[in-house]
Structure 1
Amino acid sequence: MSIPQSGGGPIEHHDQLAEYLEKGCKPKEDWRIGTEHEKFGYCKDTHKPLPYEGERSIQAVLEGLRDRHGWSPLVESGKLIGLEKDGANISLEPGGQLELSGAPLETIHQTCDEVNQHLRDVKDISDKIGVGFLGLGAAPEWTHDQMPLMPKGRYKLMDSYMQKVGTMGTSMMRRTCTVQVNLDFGSEADMVQKMRVALALQPVATALFANSPFFEGKPNGQKSWRSYIWRHLDDARTGMLPFVFDEGFGFEAWVQYVLDVPMYFVYRDGQYIDALGQSFRDFLKGELPALPGETPLMSDWADHLTTVFPEARVKQFIEMRGADGGPWRRLCALPAFWVGLMYDQSALDAAWDLVKDWDEETRWALRVGGGEQGLQAQVGKINMNDLAREVLDISRAGLKARAKPGLGGMVADERHFLHALEDSVETGMAPADELLELYNGEWNGDLSKIYDAFSY
């Protein structure tokens, strides 16, 4: 979940909203890769989720990373709620999920090195205090009441609001984890093409990374329960955004969409001011009930952009948001999957050719199918596993064309990071299928086995 934004003076005219997004345009040589992933912490002896405070806690892990591995603290109202170092951030999701938001890096080799170092550091601290971390898309056993709400003002407001819209908002906040990648664009036209491909193919990522077949201690009937949660959350700020495929879509169309999303808060002087359900359009006119007479700052606009949660999101970069959190190898596979599709023009064109004739109903059905059946989904004539294989072929070609070597030139490019996904399409099994096979076989219905088997 995003940290408060900063910088920028008052918004004096409407055009500044789109101009803020347009400032994200970069020449191709400056495109970077930002990988984020979340994970669940738990006490090894009880398998219970970590509280915020105590000997075995989220706070203890953050303090250990600060003191032993050189991270600088981020504090809110006297509480340690995050860390920063070398362009990366460690932050807390609402239920205590620990998130690494990586630095903008040039290659998958670098971003994977970053992930690996982070997980080693977290394990160094957590092993000393009897804590483990688990990579899944949804909490396998824990109930809502067992999950602590982290001491961040943003989350307190969101928790209250989520109970009034949709049916799964508080489950999303406290009991889901994701891996995502943030990618750059070169121009408005480039953003448009990338967003259309991103939204259309997000269901393929959902199917390949499906990793949440359990909830509250039993199978839930879905391959990605996390995807189910997001489909039943808050229609005003989630979904597949059909308007992105309309003629004329661009930065201004995104502005109009975000302006129609109800606000959560305004951040002032270290405090979150309740603006739940209020309108940013009113804010622009100086008529926001939460701050009557005030007009917004650019940082308010940047904050508001972080409160929309579709399957792909535009800020000054594009976020790919459709994948479940998962095992170590897949934290590197997700950025490789999307970089291969997005950072080579021939691959991007091929991906667009693949999806450009799909209609809104097809895209939605693929989203539902990817979450429910994973790689076994069938939508009309589209078989998800066959589609995933074709998309991986395009991504692989894109990574080969990028030709970014690693290990001092010993590895020619980044294609090997796709191996985990290639294994999935060869077997037709995503991580959720492997978990269900273990649960129904070797584990004999004992879900407690998941902690030893799938912790980092």
Structure 2
Amino acid sequence: MSGPAQVKDVEIASRAQLVEYLESGIRARGDWRIGTEHEKFGFRTDDLRAPTFDGERGIEALLRGLTRFGWAPVEEKGRVIALSKGNASVSLEPAGQLELSGAPLENLHQTCRETGTHLREVRAVAEPMGLGFLGMGFQPKWRRDEMPWMPKGRYRIMREYMPKVGSLGLDMMTRTCTVQVNLDVGSEADMVKKFRVSLALQPVATALFADSPFTEGRPNGYLSYRSHIWTDTDADRTGLLDFVFEDGFGYERYTDYLLDVPMYFVYRDGAYIDASGQSFRDYMDGRLPARPGFRPTLQDWADHSTTAFPEVRLKKYLEMRGADSGPWNRICALPAFWVGLLYDAAALDAAWDLVRDFTLEERHALRDGVPRQALKLPFRGGTVLDLAREALKIAAGGLRRRACLNDHGSDETMFLAPLMEIVESGMTPAECKLELFHGAWGGSVDRVFREFAY
């Protein structure tokens, strides 16, 4: 989840400014970049519990320890709640899940180096503290009421609001982790095509990355329980956004969608003002109950755009949000999958040809079925595995044509290797862990913290 946006604080006078804000992200192809974000669960190595914010082994102490690697502390009310370095940041999810929001980079080799460097830095600080970190989609052992809460103002507001609009929102906040990639667009038409392709294929990414089969120490009946969580979090701000596939979709239509998403907060003078459930349209008219007589600024609009949580989110760029978190090589594989599909013109055309005739009912059947069945979900006489195999073939072609080589002469297709292995075996990471649980682990999830920690 994002912190407060950093944009020019200009008062909004018209809806056109909101549209222009989104349109301002359009970039020439040569300026397209890759931004990768991933979250991970912290745990104490002696009792496997999530670390609290305070204390010698707390998350704040970990953040302070990371400053020796050149990260600058970001404070809220005197507490270190994030770090920044250049265009990258390290931040906290509600229960202390640690998130790296990477810098916009030119190629996947740089992205993977960035991720590897971050994980090494975290381990260097965490190990002497008796802490470890695990990449999975859902907390495998602890109950919601056993998870800590971080002292961030926006999370206090969301914590109080979530139970009013869904039964699983607090689980989303405290017990999920994801990996996502942020990608640029070259025009409004390019944005629309990429948005449609990524929404239609998001269930394929969810299936390939499915890695959340346990809840409170037992199998939960899902392969991506994290994905299921989003189906009962808050219908006003989640889902597949069917209107993206309607004729005439563009920046204006997405702006109208955002205007109809209920607000969470207004951020002013370092504090979060509770505006949960209130209307940004009323704010535009100076009638926001939380700030009567005041009108929003572009910073308010940028902040508000981070509080919609669809499967693919549009800000000044597109965010692909459908994958469970996982180990280092799958953190690299997620951007490889989407860059291969979306950043090469021929691959984007092929991906659109693959999904353009999906009906609304088929798109929803994929979204609804993948959390339980993942690659084995039936689809058009085959399964999602067949769809994944075709999508990976297109992505690999796109990466080869990009021809971005590392120092050893290898192109970016190397980062698809973990996904190719999943497709070859037909086994998702979740199914592999379930086999271990029922076999070598003897019905205990505790070994996941040792065998799959970073």
Q: TM-score, normalised by structure 2?
A: 0.99
Whole-angstrom distance in 2 between the partners of 1:429 and 1:268: 48
State the one-letter code of the partner of 2:370: G
Whole-angstrom distance in 1 between the partners of 2:13 and 2:294: 12
Q: How does 1:45-444 map to 2 (within 5 A)?
A: 45-66=46-67, 68-407=68-407, 410-444=408-442
How far 1:28 moved relative to its partner? 0.3
| Secondary structure at 2:321 match in 1 | strand
Whole-angstrom distance in 1 between the partners of 2:86 and 2:143: 36
| Secondary structure at 1:163 match in 2 | helix
Whole-angstrom distance in 2 between the partners of 1:370 and 1:233: 17
Whole-angstrom distance in 2 between the partners of 1:20 and 1:164: 31
Q: Is the 1:238–1:310 Cα contact (8 Å) retained in structure 2?
A: yes
How far 1:380 moved relative to its partner? 4.0
How far 1:379 moved relative to its partner? 2.9
Unaligned runs of 5+ in 1: none
Whole-angstrom distance in 1 between the partners of 2:255 and 2:130: 47
Correspondence for 2:444 among 446, 451, 454:
446
How far 1:267 moved relative to its partner? 0.4
What do you get for the CA RMSD once the two structures are aligned?
A: 0.7
| Secondary structure at 2:20 match in 1 | helix
Whole-angstrom distance in 1 between the partners of 2:304 and 2:213: 32
Whole-angstrom distance in 2 between the partners of 1:4 and 1:280: 16
Q: Which residue of 2 aligns with 1:37?
A: 38
State the one-letter code of the partner of 2:392: L
State the one-letter code of the partner of 2:30: E
| Secondary structure at 1:51 match in 2 | coil
Q: Which residue of 2 aligns with 1:24?
A: 25
Whole-angstrom distance in 2 between the partners of 1:380 and 1:350: 18
* Farther off after superposition, 159-168 or 110-119: 159-168
Whole-angstrom distance in 2 between the partners of 1:89 and 1:412: 29
How far 1:79 moved relative to its partner? 0.8
How far 1:430 moved relative to its partner? 1.1
How far 1:86 moved relative to its partner? 2.2
> Which whole-Å deviations, capped at 9, do the CAs of 1:144-187 have from their partners, x for residues lacking one?
11111110000000010001111100000000000000000000
State the one-letter code of the partner of 2:46: D
Whole-angstrom distance in 2 between the partners of 1:254 and 1:392: 29
State, as a whole percentage, how many aligned pairs show the same letter. Answer: 58
Whole-angstrom distance in 2 between the partners of 1:392 and 1:342: 12
Q: Which residue of 1 aligns with 2:453?
A: 455
> Which whole-Å deviations, capped at 9, do the CAs of 1:93-139 have from their partners, x for residues lacking one?
00100000000000000000000000000000011110000000000
> Which whole-Å deviations, capped at 9, do the CAs of 1:184-207 have from their partners, x for residues lacking one?
000000000000001000000000
> Which whole-Å deviations, capped at 9, do the CAs of 1:329-356 have from their partners, x for residues lacking one?
1000000000000000110010000001
How far 1:413 moved relative to its partner? 1.4
State the one-letter code of the partner of 1:344: D
Q: Is the 2:217–2:444 Cα contact (8 Å) retained in structure 1?
A: no
Unaligned runs of 5+ in 2: none
| Secondary structure at 1:180 match in 2 | strand
State the one-letter code of the partner of 2:59: I
State the one-letter code of the partner of 2:36: T
Q: Is the 1:369–1:379 Cα contact (8 Å) retained in structure 2?
A: no
Whole-angstrom distance in 2 between the partners of 1:75 and 1:306: 20
State the one-letter code of the partner of 2:209: F
Q: Is the 1:35–1:179 Cα contact (8 Å) retained in structure 2?
A: yes
Whole-angstrom distance in 2 between the partners of 1:378 and 1:440: 26
Q: Is the 1:90–1:100 Cα contact (8 Å) retained in structure 2?
A: yes
> Which whole-Å deviations, capped at 9, do the CAs of 1:247-283 have from their partners, x for residues lacking one?
0000000001011110000000001001010000000
> Which whole-Å deviations, capped at 9, do the CAs of 1:360-389 have from their partners, x for residues lacking one?
111111112221111111134241111100
Whole-angstrom distance in 1 between the partners of 2:153 and 2:409: 46
> Which whole-Å deviations, capped at 9, do the CAs of 1:369-421 have from their partners, x for residues lacking one?
221111111134241111100000000000001001112xx224100100000
| Secondary structure at 1:74 match in 2 | strand
Whole-angstrom distance in 2 between the partners of 1:5 and 1:373: 37
> Which whole-Å deviations, capped at 9, do the CAs of 1:10-32 have from their partners, x for residues lacking one?
00111001100000000000000
| Secondary structure at 2:252 match in 1 | helix
Whole-angstrom distance in 2 between the partners of 1:144 and 1:86: 35
Whole-angstrom distance in 1 between the partners of 2:71 and 2:15: 39
Whole-angstrom distance in 2 between the partners of 1:411 and 1:384: 33
Q: TM-score, normalised by structure 1?
A: 0.98
Whole-angstrom distance in 2 between the partners of 1:329 and 1:153: 33
Q: Is the 1:222–1:372 Cα contact (8 Å) retained in structure 2?
A: yes
State the one-letter code of the partner of 2:326: G
Whole-angstrom distance in 1 between the partners of 2:185 and 2:424: 32
How far 1:426 moved relative to its partner? 0.3
> Which whole-Å deviations, capped at 9, do the CAs of 1:30-82 have from their partners, x for residues lacking one?
0000000000001000001110011111111101101x211100000111000
